[in-house]
Structure 1
C-alpha cells in the first residue's frame, strides 16, 4: 500500500508519497518553475513517456512536443542517474519509444535492487494518475461493409444455433428475410440467470413482427435494417453475423462486402 497526499491547483498536481518523495505533474508548460538539481524529469505526449532526464535543465526542444511534464524529487538513498536509466530501460522493454536525454550507462549490480524497487513504485503512481508504462494497443478498426447491386442479387443463408433462413440484402438499409425462416427458441441468459440486453432486443423485435411468426417460423417476408438486426431477430445475436450469412458455396457476406 502506498500512502499519498495530493495537492491540486490550476497548473500542477503534487503527490507526496510514503515520505519517499514528491511527484509533480505539470499541465501548464509555458510557466515552469526553476528546477532543483536532484529532479527526475519525465516528458509526456498523451499518456506515454517521450523522454526521461535527470538533474539537467528542461530541454526546450523536447518540451515543445510534450503536453505534460512530471518532475520527481529523488530521495537521497536512490542514485538519480541510475533511476533515470532504469525508467528508460523499463519503458523501452515495454515497447515505448522513450528516449534518454542523459548519458546512458550500465547500472551497478549493488544499486539495481534499490532503483528497480523505486521504479516500480513510480510506475504504480504514474498509472494511478493516468499515465501508461507500456505501449497502448490501438483498438482494431471496426470493419466497414459496402452494399452493391451485385450483392443484392445473391441469396445468403443462415444456419446457426437452431436458426435457419434466407436473406437478400436488397438495399443499403434493407435486408429481406424470406418467409419460412426458423427462429432460435432457447433464450440465452446471463450467468446469474437474468435476461441480457441482446435477448431483450430479440424479444422486442419478435414482438414487433408477431403477426408474421407462427410456431417459431416466419410466415411472411420481413424487412430488417442490417446484418446485426437479422442476427438479433433470428438467433439472439451473440456472434459475428457477417460470418454467419453465407452464399450457396459457403462464401460469407463479409467476403463479398468488406472494405479493404
Structure 2
C-alpha cells in the first residue's frame, strides 16, 4: 500500500509520499518552473511519456512539445541517473516512444534493485493519475450487423460443439430457432471447476423455455433475441456466433449482414 498526501490547485498537483519523495505535476507550461534540487523530469504528451531527464535544467524545446511536466524527487539512496535510466528502459520495453535527454548508461548491478523498486512505485502512482506506462493497444472495432428483408428469407444452420439447429432471422430482434434443434448437453466449467457466467446464462435461458425442450431437443419453435442468444441457448456460447450460422451453401450470416 502506498499512502499519499495530495494537494491540487489550478495549475499544479503536489503528491507527497514521505519526507524525501515528492511528485509535482505542472499543467500550465507557459512558464517553466524553477527547480532548486536535482529531480527526475518527465515530459508528457497526452498520457504518454514524451521524454525523461534528470537534474535542474528544463529542456525548453521539449517543454514546448509537452502537455504536462512531472518532476520527481530523488531519495538520497538512489542515483538520479539510475532512476531516469530505469524508467526509460521500462517505458521503451513497454513499446512507448519515450526518449532520454541524457547519456544512456547501464545501471550497476548493486544499484538496480533500489532503482527498480522506486520506479515500480512511481509507475503505480503515475497510472493512478492517468499516465500510461505501456502502449495501449487499440481494441479492434466490433463488427456491426444489420438486419434486412432479404436475410429474413434465408434459413441458417448450426452444427457446432454437439449442437445443431435451424434459425431464421425474421425481424431485427427476433431469431426463430426451429423445433428439432439439438442442445449441447455437457456444461463447460472454468479451470477451477466453477460454473462460468455464460453457463449460468445458458441454464437460465433453457429454464425459461423448459416447456419447449425435451431430452435436450426443442419441441416447438423458440424466438430468441440475437445471434449471441442463440449461441448461449444451444452451445453455451464461447465462440463468434456470426461465423457459426451458415446457409445451405456454407455462407455465414456474418457475410450477409456485416456493415462494411
Q: TM-score, normalised by structure 2?
A: 0.78
Tell whether 2:134 aligns with 1:138. no
Contact preservation (8 Å) 1:126, 1:132: no
Contact preservation (8 Å) 1:245, 1:253: yes
Unaligned runs of 5+ in 1: none
**1:105 aligned residue:** 103
Counterparts of residues 159-238 of structure 1 (less than 5 Å):
159-238=159-238
Contact preservation (8 Å) 2:14, 2:22: no
CA distance in 1, matches of 2:2, 2:234: 54
Q: Could you say if the C-alpha distance between residues 215 and 76 of structure 1 is closer, same or farther in structure 2, counting changes exceeding 3 Å?
A: closer
**1:154 aligned residue:** 154
Tell whether 2:121 aligns with 1:125. yes
Q: Could you say if the C-alpha distance between residues 195 and 83 of structure 1 is closer, same or farther in structure 2, counting changes exceeding 3 Å?
A: closer
Q: Could you say if the C-alpha distance between residues 256 and 120 of structure 1 is closer, same or farther in structure 2, counting changes exceeding 3 Å?
A: farther
Query: Per-residue deviation at 1:195?
Result: 3.2
Unaligned runs of 5+ in 2: none
Query: Per-residue deviation at 1:132?
Result: 3.5
Contact preservation (8 Å) 2:41, 2:52: yes
CA distance in 2, matches of 1:254, 1:195: 30
> Any idea what SS the aligned residue of 2:4 has?
strand
**1:8 aligned residue:** 6
CA distance in 2, matches of 1:5, 1:143: 43
**2:67 aligned residue:** 66
> Any idea what SS the aligned residue of 1:223 has?
strand
Query: Per-residue deviation at 1:62?
Result: 3.3
Contact preservation (8 Å) 2:162, 2:235: yes
Instruction: Name the count of aligned residue pairs.
Output: 250
**1:22 aligned residue:** 21
CA distance in 2, matches of 1:141, 1:122: 37
Query: Per-residue deviation at 1:245?
Result: 1.2
> Any idea what SS the aligned residue of 1:231 has?
helix
Tell whether 2:32 aligns with 1:36. no
CA distance in 2, matches of 1:198, 1:56: 57
**1:56 aligned residue:** 57
